[in-house]
Amino acid sequence: MSTVYINSAACISAQDTLNENFTENFKPEQSVQIVNTIEPNYKEFIPPAMIRRMSKTVKMSSVASHFALKEAGVEKPDAIIVGTGMGCSQDSEKFLKNVIDNHEEFLTPTFFIQSTHNTVSGQIALGLQCHGYNFTYVNTSSSLEFSMLDAKLQINDGEASTVLVGSTDEQTQRTMELYQLNNSIKKKENLPVDFLHSKSDGVIWGEGSSFFVLGKDKTASSYAQLKDIQIINTLELSETQQFIEEFLHKNNVKKENVDAVILGFSGDAKSDIYYKKAMDSLENCALLYYKHLSGEFNTASGFSTFMACYILKNQRIPEVMMINQVKKSTIKNVLLYNHLKGEDHSLVLLEKV
């Protein structure tokens, strides 16, 4: 089985992550119900006539994928794989609104065509004139992990040498209203949020787009080696530590050799107990969290993967992400653990190159 490298990483998020010195300006978001991305000037990357027809998630993905391919020095990847939880929900809402407003008559198909989840990967492929393998995973919070697992298999099987892998999700007004009604989003009276010691349910909702180029060859721009990925739909709280220990054992990594663990604390008291359980057996590692920077959303793990790549390459952990004060002299192995509302648990192991 060949080695798989992450050769580039680009992210559009609630932080200014397209900026070279983005960690110096990290601003935790703890006092709002919904956080928006810091968007680039799309006119610099996309023709104005096309911008008008693109939803936010397509625009974010087009720019993030551009940066990822440019950094990796790849003009046209062999495959494009995208993970998304909600897809192009802005266009979905527009289409449904048209259905209602027009009493199901005289409908134009544009919004419906653009609302499909695979619009993102399709638009990127059209822009690059890439006719290779093109796939979209819609697996809620593990969409990126499934995408990376597929890319790893494509490379290991010799089907591709370079794969563009991305994750993206956008906010929409109506969906956010529904999330507030079912208490998925924090109530105003529960703000500001103490992400690590929250006593209330619900999260601060975010959005973002993260893209990576995976390849079989190590390059000058390589960030990390993608060692392994494991995904499970449901997990009993009592099985959390065993889930992590068996994953590490499978990869011949002892717990004491894990240098940093990035946990998906979201401020939701009901589901964050999994992360607290995981911490009990990983106290000798540098424990980190990140959703106070990105917000919670289906593919928020894209932000944590981006940050893990940054940490491995620069050998530096931003203070704002630290839960404990453990600091290893060399950061070699980084473990990522994420889930959404206690379901779709994923583990990703990255190693320094």
CA distances from 126 to 58, 62, 69, 76, 129 (A): 12, 11, 15, 11, 5
5-215 and 224-352: same fold? Answer: yes
| Residue 117: pLDDT band with limits 50, 70, 90 | confident
Residue spans of the domains in the chain: they are: 5-215, 224-352
Query: Per DSSP, what are the bridge partners of residue 81?
Result: 135, 165
pLDDT tens profile 146-172: 999 999 999 999 999 999 999 999 999
| Residue 88: pLDDT band with limits 50, 70, 90 | confident
How much is the average pLDDT of 250-256?
95
Cα–Cα distance for residue pair 202/186, rounded to 1 Å: 4
Q: Are 152 and 216 in contact (CB under 8 A)?
A: no
The CATH homologous superfamily for domain 5-215 is Thiolase/Chalcone synthase (3.40.47.10)
Question: Both tokens of residue 113?
Answer: 């065509």
- Name the CATH topology of 224-352: Peroxisomal Thiolase; Chain A, domain 1 (3.40.47)
Lowest mean pLDDT among 92-106, 180-194, 278-292: 92-106
How much is the average pLDDT of 80-100?
86
Using a 10 angstrom Cβ sphere, with 0-12 exposed, 13-18 middle and 19 or more buried, the burial of residue 86 is buried
